[in-house]
Structure 1
């Protein structure tokens, strides 16, 4: 069996390693246009901020490790054409310029994503950078050493983590975003408000609800970020606007979402025979809505890549979908979320309710008992849990993984009230705060809920 793999970051590495282990007789060839593989881009801010001293720790594989599994890795090779009907591809050696063809029995497309780069006046100026791969991170660190004023455009996870890292390195930092709130895709206002206050308290200037319109410069280098509401003097600009799937190779050959994300079935198969896809190049099945969605996360990528290998020859393990579970630490706050926010649920046209609690995570008689803020979103009619968000000075983020499992299994907020959690004063209260949220959401009348109907409660 001849297997060709295009792209080798999270999904690609998982697919390759598992394919090599499951099918030792397979001839596996990997095409990667970069000079490194398996870089954990979620570690860029940690690397930039100096928390991670040795960047080699951000790589979890290498061409040498893959070679030990019998995999042929062609670094600095870009695939320029794929014909899914003929099962052929063409590739170019980016070092020598040589072009050649290849064939495959199975094709694995793990081409990932690429940052959205707007077409704005002044984009050609020096010191306007992207933040995606290892080379980007090295350039950011190098450039940041000699500048004072840094502007980050985009207040998603990467942007927020970067402004924190820059501020801790003593820079004057501005965060710009067209949305009125930071992290608006992941958290509701009850959570983003305190985080914004924390950023401001640390001296980070927030320019929210402002759209970047262009850049000005001097001697070929950027000096000013222009928005529809202001001007921000900047020596360095990092664009963190978002990502789009890198799937031009298969355009018109497989089914995609309008943004180019490849649609796959539950066995990671595309609409083209013997063509599989995984990771940031793909749409995922989003359990809270039951629809296909584009949620580029490393966790999604490694699961999907592993499933590609497991289903390469026969249907074995179906994909269970995802809740888009994620977390972030900003200064002293530990934050995590899963599924739909209340705002996102309403945008989907779902009649949703939410319960919000603020409690101490363990008994008040303990020496410390940090406060925890938890919000659970659920569908009004079915009571089905749709999402949750948590924030605390104490690291309680693993609780969101528990809620993710609840959503995965279609549980209701009423059931959440009575799930069996242990009690030990070092860790929690007799009613775990997840139980407490469920209890608070229970109907205030004696009317039966759908959950009560299901379990036969009188």
Structure 2
């Protein structure tokens, strides 16, 4: 998309494809049972032990489920759990979605023929990615009919119901939450971009779309149908018929529904690496890594959602647990491991100079650059905003007259220009609000 922004497709394939391509690669289908850093070896769940010279932990993160016990609460993390969600949705008339991150945003927009109650703890939707102004720009998209975006889907599952004889058994998130998975962690990678393209997200209602947003609230209690009937104190909104599960929110509202989708973020998947080792953990629970992606244990590196970047960050970069960053970290960690073995110096990769992310929400292209939400700037910043209803939303964050962040929603064609202005740190004081004047070809001006 630009020098620092990349869009990419994610395609699931059998692991044999990689093994055939790279003769030095072996893929082991098993969970890790234990890591012994002092003897440099890893034991897998099937009893095998592997020694290593260098180790990189890329075990990602797992969903923070509202509750592990309730079979009516579903987390969406990998292709298996997305498939389970599709199956349940086909029979559902109403669901409650809890959370305000990327998965919740995509899911609420994509679901058809099912009433959606969306509980968010913030004052606006999409708080992780944009401000209240951008949220207002996007809200009308929930009210109209969804535009059909034709795109080929490459996300066929290879974790099928009938695994090959030598393949590891897989479990849905629902089975995992009920304790049926014997392994220590949930199987499957994070869904990544466009995960919903290959599955039909339709419920059992006739109406095309009904989304109600409940702001500034969290889940207080989840009742089964029996518990709810036994509790005379509860006063739900008038519902026709009874529901399998009821959700009481902190704003006093109670809703019955067919099932609850827990999309309340993730926690770094550090189990079972901690037992018997001395890893330093960050406040968010991730493995601390330095500017060479190295953990506190010798010869052990980490990349992606499982780690927390604990070096001194560039003023224009911050860690967010996203596919783009996991991919960049993994690529850089591989180079750091190779450089260490070859005793070669290596500089921090340039991708950590500027935060950049491109995605799609509500069928709009969304580009985030630098301190796009004025993160860590306090009151020492100003915002310039341009909005054309139904077309584009452009926000620029300036600090000391220099651009430090931007949010671009829609086909603005400004990402490359703004990326350069942020990296160059050019003083833009003289331009003032003209910077976003739609009658000026700013791209051509700064070329």
> Is the TM value for this pair above 0.5?
yes
The answer to whether the aligner puts 1:257 opposite 2:272 as a matched pair is no
The answer to whether the aligner puts 1:111 opposite 2:59 as a matched pair is yes
Partner of 2:406: 388
Partner of 2:26: 72
2:294–2:301 Cα contact (<8 Å) kept: yes
Aligned counterpart for 2:398 among listed residues 378, 386, 393: 378
Q: Shift in Å at residue 155 of structure 1?
A: 1.8
TM-score of the pair, normalised by structure 2: 0.68
TM-score of the pair, normalised by structure 1: 0.67
Partner of 1:131: 76
Partner of 2:169: none
Indicate the structure whose relative CO is greater, using CA pairs within 8 Å and at least 6 residues apart. Answer: 2
Partner of 2:86: 141
Q: Shift in Å at residue 376 of structure 1?
A: 0.8
The range that moved more, 80-89 or 234-243, is 80-89
Q: Shift in Å at residue 183 of structure 1?
A: 0.9
The answer to whether the aligner puts 1:300 opposite 2:320 as a matched pair is no
RMSD across aligned positions (CA): 3.3
Correspondences of 1:82-121 after superposition (within 5 Å): 82-93=35-46, 99-119=47-67
> What is the rounded CA distance, in whole Å, between the counterparts of 2:70 and 2:113 in structure 1?
24
Aligned counterpart for 2:365 among listed residues 331, 334, 339: 334
> What is the rounded CA distance, in whole Å, between the counterparts of 1:165 and 1:157 in structure 2?
12
2:385–2:394 Cα contact (<8 Å) kept: yes
Query: Secondary structure of 1:255's partner?
Result: coil
Q: Shift in Å at residue 405 of structure 1?
A: 5.0
Correspondences of 1:47-446 after superposition (within 5 Å): 58-68=10-20, 69-70=22-23, 71-75=25-29, 77-93=30-46, 99-119=47-67, 124-166=69-111, 169-200=112-143, 203-218=210-225, 222-229=244-251, 230-251=253-274, 253-284=278-309, 289=315, 294-314=319-339, 315-316=345-346, 318-320=348-350, 321=352, 323-331=354-362, 333-342=364-373, 344-346=375-377, 349=378, 351-358=380-387, 371-380=391-400, 383-392=401-410, 395-396=411-412, 399-400=414-415, 402-407=417-422, 409=423, 411-412=425-426, 414=428, 430-432=440-442
Q: More strand per residue: 1 or 2?
A: 1
Could you give the per-residue CA deviations for residues 80-128 of structure 1, whole angstroms, max 9, x where no partner exists? 22122321222112xxxxx232211010110101111235xxx523231
Could you give the per-residue CA deviations for residues 365-396 of structure 1, whole angstroms, max 9, x where no partner exists? xxxxx85331111223xx3432111223xx23
Query: Secondary structure of 2:210's partner?
Result: coil
Partner of 2:342: none
Partner of 1:28: none
Q: More helix per residue: 1 or 2?
A: 1
2:374–2:381 Cα contact (<8 Å) kept: no
> What is the rounded CA distance, in whole Å, between the counterparts of 2:283 and 2:258 in structure 1?
36
Tell me the number of residue pairs that the alignment of Structure 1 and Structure 2 aligns. Answer: 345
> What is the rounded CA distance, in whole Å, between the counterparts of 2:139 and 2:327 in structure 1?
32
> What is the rounded CA distance, in whole Å, between the counterparts of 2:39 and 2:214 in structure 1?
51
2:32–2:45 Cα contact (<8 Å) kept: yes
User: Structure 1: 5+ residue runs without aligned partners?
Assistant: 1-41, 44-56, 94-98, 361-369, 419-427, 437-458
